[in-house]
Structure 1
């Protein structure tokens, strides 16, 4: 039981972390995609909380299972919301509009899960209840994979995440269906006097964890890129102020930045298509303006300038 408890806690922490980062990205970027992801993850947490209580609280498990066999409102809401959000998410990633037919699939899914519980209690009834959800997940995977192969204007990052989400949906839609089939017909009990249901699907958990890991990878990688862009922008502002302070011409700026990269005279000449003599003349002028005599002193002068407090306020405003 301790292992099950820790497993549930780790799942909820993973979902909560991914959701918190998604909320942060939505507030910063105001993109609908992150709002959809946030709602999607919220219902992951809601579903896992219910399953957790059925595993640890016997009275709740009995009450929930009886309700599930007659009016499974909570589970239906969870599946419908996740189906709707996942549909919009995959279309957002594919840069496609959600069609009327796709909205119809979600409506039919809702109607199906509302009517199946009216059947007599049996394993088949429960299997039929879950069946369209797994088929819908496989459909989304196939749909995403098909249109991904037809599109050529995706960025490498968008292609990577769309590919893995589509592939995971196809594979795990099938695995979840197979696990449901085994557990429903071989493990659970649906007799009139004894309803015993195993509400957790391990393949479904693995799929949700994979989705969270993909999201965390995206969030942290994007944050690193933003930091790198800010650093590069800071360095560019610093260099421009350094050049203005010492009155470098445009050509001297081009050569100075190559000096800071430890390029030789010949490398500089080759890179900016100047003669070696012209490059030496410009370097001599840079030395005079900086009042230095050696190449390494140019780097020292640049570093000293940045540390001297002459950088100005525009750098700090760039980082905000």
Structure 2
């Protein structure tokens, strides 16, 4: 099996696993919002470019935050957030940093009838189930310690349960210390999901149209319906456009603060931070990279 075939095989297994576990990992809306704000953080982007060779000399990049080392630590923990999707990022990386994993399940790999030989179809089905578990489902569950055993069904159940319990005890004794429970925790405050969503949507819209006036960005995002005006000639004695500029500018500032705090492991957080200003052309470029990756991945998965 070549590398492309192996990649396709794992993609199929992960897709099946996502159907089983996807709802579980998105129970807390803050996880996906954290992922999205890392995507728009200028400091996090700088750490990514520095780590991947896109930037050779930080001094030539202009302003570098005094706490840039903290951003680097977050990048080392959470990695690339552009050429991936939330599911893969969570399963392969983020869940271990937060110490929040899907509860492990009991998996059945095969059932053999008494007195019957295992035919080829039974062997193939069991192998497929084992492959699914080892390559995808166990990853989605956070790689729990597991014991794969065969349990005879036609025997004294009390004896069987004692033997299973003994095997479990012996297996647990061979395990090392428990895995790290995660070092990153979300802040508990009154910042709402809608507040984060509106700020991020304005930043995305600004990146998509960096030369448009701010009131146009606000109109298109629809953040303040009362201040929406027609684009073009300004009506006399109508200050709604000015008010829309104020609201939109405030949302951009919020987006920057939320994203830069996320890049330091503080989320959701509206505290002032030594940040790098948005470069909306660069932000647009990174959003396009992510969308192109998603489009290509969806096309590949449909082909599977």
Larger Rg: 1
TM-score, with length taken from structure 1 = 0.20
State the structure with bigger RCO (CA 8 A, min sep 6), 1 or 2: 2
Larger helix share, 1 or 2: 1
TM-score, normalised relative to structure 2: 0.21
